[in-house]
Amino acid sequence: MDVAAALAAHLGELAGLEVYQRSITSDRGALLFLGREGRERRLAVMSPEPDERFDGEQSDVTVERHRLRLRRCPTDASNAAALRKALPCFAPRPLGLEPSIGCGDRLGLATPGHVRAVRRHSMAPILAQQSVRELERTGRTPVEVLDAATWGALLEGWRNGFGADADHLKTTGDVDRFVDAGFSFFTVDPGDQVDDEADDASEAALRDKVAALPWDALDASESSLGERYLGRRFDLEHEALELDEETLWRAAAKYGRAVAHTAALHRHLDSRMGDRPFELEMSVDETARPTSALDHLFVASELERLGVRWVSLAPRFIGDFEKGVDYRGDLVALEDSFARHAAIARVLGPYKISLHSGSDKFSVYPIAARHAGELVHVKTAGTSYLEALRVIARVEPELFREILAFALAHFDGDRATYHISGRKDRVPAPGETPDAELRAVLEQDDGRQVLHVTFGSVLTEKDGDGFRFRDRLLGALQECENEHSTALEAHFERHLAPFDARGGTDQ
């Protein structure tokens, strides 16, 4: 047994816990560590004098004839906040222009697996990431999302910092909830303000759309916009772009309201955050029409003119970025388009290009790594939930069958807000699939998408006074937490390796 393992075992005997070895840390003469008692996790604090920073039951222990105070604390919101205050490395921070990956966690158990993968690669992690839509569908709160990431980072001893992404924000109320919780990264989604019809509108309809733009909010006019763009060349490393009159008005009609909405939410966020540093991303990925290079040029130029500070932008790329499966489309055309978007981000920024619905886009990662370099952010979400179900299919096959049958029954309703092509009639019937073949459902695109989009229904379905699936699902994963984390580590290895700038780091 090495020294660290021996220390963990000794602390475990003193505290009555199964101690997570990597969690042991010191602060102000106290030892802090995380341990497990049955399925419950506890924070333990051992110090010469009572440590009043944390709430918990206190007792005395003797170590080599020295009396120490031991406080065993619940891993609740109060103690998570106290930990972030005492040890800022476990609190979210801005990541700047570091290449980064967003690790969505719909169950609150995935962070240890995410950290295991991240520490061996070069991308900085956003360990707390949840959209407003996901909160509504899981019944979680922003504080719960952040707390799960905090305890997971401590468990794995991740002290290199992480971000917390309030994803797909549409209103000031959305912003306020995440500001109050302590998030550091805010993704504004003005997709509802994007006018996709502008791409094909007739000349008369286009002029009406431009005339109706919120010019006051844009602090501009039709004439001033023309003066700013028409007749101007924008040099983008290997080419120059120009907006003629028709292209300018189509870009303005399509994205003008989205720019104004983003600027308004940025001003609100700036006023709410005060002296706290934060980062903003603009996302227009969930729209019907792709974002052209000239559209991107217009949006970035207008955001800059309006004083918006942003760290990343998520365009709507060509082809299909469907949930839970690889890219569908022409990779050659995507590479040409992506190269232009990346060049705009370097020249007008620098800022990062963000891949939304980035889970499992294994054919796209080499393209992004080649053309964006380190100016890239990859956002994942449901893929971690699917890996959890893969584990469940092995350790609790009957539970997996129940979840799959329920998902198939609820798929038609739950798919409504997602752009996917999965079909439930191509998914194997749960009752007819042998145990050994259940995990193969998660190798099939249709099965992945059926399970991906029904997560909210599965996690919130009630059965009497409790939940039908949630408690059993979480309990089974807690019983095999190391297997769960190992599966996530292997899965995220595939996401991270293509972006390595310097190979594994094993931090």
Q: What is the share, in percent, of the chain residues with pLDDT greater than 90? A: 95
| Average pLDDT score, the chain | 96
Q: Is residue 493 part of a domain?
A: no
Tokens of 207: 């002029």
Tens of pLDDT, residues 404-425 = 999 999 999 999 988 899 999 9
CA pseudo-torsion sign 226, 229, 233, 239: negative
Query: Does the pLDDT value for residue 161 go beyond 90?
Result: yes
**Residue type for 114, please?**
H
Tokens of 292: 């052209």
Is there a contact between 195 and 258 (Cβ–Cβ < 8 Å)?
no
Q: Is residue 350 part of a domain?
A: no
Q: What is the share, in percent, of the chain residues with pLDDT greater than 70? A: 98
Q: Is residue 80 part of a domain?
A: yes
Query: Does the pLDDT value for residue 507 go beyond 90?
Result: no
pLDDT of amino acid 321: 96
pLDDT of amino acid 503: 39
Q: Is residue 231 part of a domain?
A: no
Q: How many CB atoms lie within 10 A of CB 223?
A: 8
Instruction: Indicate which residues carry an active-site annotation.
Output: 167, 281
Is there a contact between 165 and 187 (Cβ–Cβ < 8 Å)?
yes
pLDDT of amino acid 238: 87
Tens of pLDDT, residues 168-182 = 999 999 999 999 999
Q: Is residue 71 part of a domain?
A: yes
Tens of pLDDT, residues 441-452 = 999 999 999 999
Q: Is residue 36 part of a domain?
A: yes
Is there a contact between 36 and 42 (Cβ–Cβ < 8 Å)?
yes
pLDDT of amino acid 64: 85
**Residue 501 binned pLDDT confidence (cut-offs 50, 70, 90):** low
Q: Is residue 266 part of a domain?
A: no
Q: Which is it for strands 30-37 and 18-19: parallel, antiparallel or unpaired?
A: antiparallel
pLDDT of amino acid 1: 64
Least Cα distance to 84 among 39, 109, 53 occurs for: 53
Is there a contact between 44 and 15 (Cβ–Cβ < 8 Å)?
yes
Tens of pLDDT, residues 93-149 = 999 999 999 999 999 999 999 999 999 999 999 999 999 999 999 999 999 999 999
Asked if the bond preceding 112 is cis, omega within 30° of 0, the reply is no
Question: Cα–Cα distance between 198 and 194 in angstroms, integer?
Answer: 9
Query: Does the pLDDT value for residue 477 go beyond 50?
Result: yes
Number of structural domains found in the chain: 1
Question: Cα–Cα distance between 210 and 229 in angstroms, integer?
Answer: 15
Average pLDDT over residues 273-302: 97
Q: 3-state DSSP helix/strand/coil percent for the chain, to nearest 5?
A: 50, 20, 30
CA pseudo-torsion sign 74, 80, 84, 85: negative
What does the angle CA 206 – CA 296 – CA 383 come to, to the nearest 5 degrees?
115
Q: Is residue 365 part of a domain?
A: no
Residue range of the domain that includes 62: 3-86
Is there a contact between 213 and 250 (Cβ–Cβ < 8 Å)?
no
